[in-house]
Amino acid sequence: MIEVKALFLLKANVDTPQVIDGPLGKRWFIPVAGGLFSGERLSGVVQTGGSDFQLIRQDGVAELDVRVTLRTDDGVTIQLKGHGIRHTSPQVLERIMSGEDVDASEYYFREALFFEAPIGRYEWLNRIIAIAKGGRMKSEVFIDAYEVL
């Protein structure tokens, strides 16, 4: 059985997706416009400038490819890479993107998280994998992250 330990809850502000039609599906480029993360072992801000590059496949599944930087409350910058999938019905996605508050039980949003931290207090992040359950609103993303033990 997989054991996990709470890592943090992250809330990121996101801008309107830039959409490109391509041969594999639609590409959504979603700029990250800041945010916060909070946990027992690390907390701080999600820095502006990251992004989520998504491929919306022909079957409606979104492949997530996230790159953001976190700045801890004590001033350390950490890279977060997330790879995951999100899927739901076109109707639920339309409700989310229109700004409606849609319960996360109405869609699937999971991610594997990887970190790159400098030597020091947070270098343990370089040696773990975290898993997360996410939530999506029109201009916010929520990530509930857990370290896999």
Quick: pLDDT tens for 83-136.
Answer: 999 998 888 888 888 888 888 888 999 999 999 999 999 999 999 999 999 988
Amino acid at 144: D
Per-residue pLDDT at 97: 80
Q: Residue 138's pLDDT is what?
A: 78
pLDDT at 149 > cutoff 90? yes
3-state SS, 25-55, equals EEEEEEEEEEEEEECCCCCEEEEEEEEEEEE
Determine the structural domain holding residue 104 and report its residue range.
4-148
With contact defined as beta carbons under 8 Å apart, do 125 and 5 qualify?
no
Domain count of the chain? 1
Among 105, 130, 104, 103, CA closest to 116: 130
Q: Which two tokens stand for residue 64?
A: 């997530």
Neighbours of 89 (CB within 10 A): 11
Query: Tens digit of pLDDT for each residue in 24-75?
Result: 889 999 999 999 999 999 999 999 999 999 999 988 899 999 999 999 999 9
CATH of residue 43's domain is 2.40.160.20
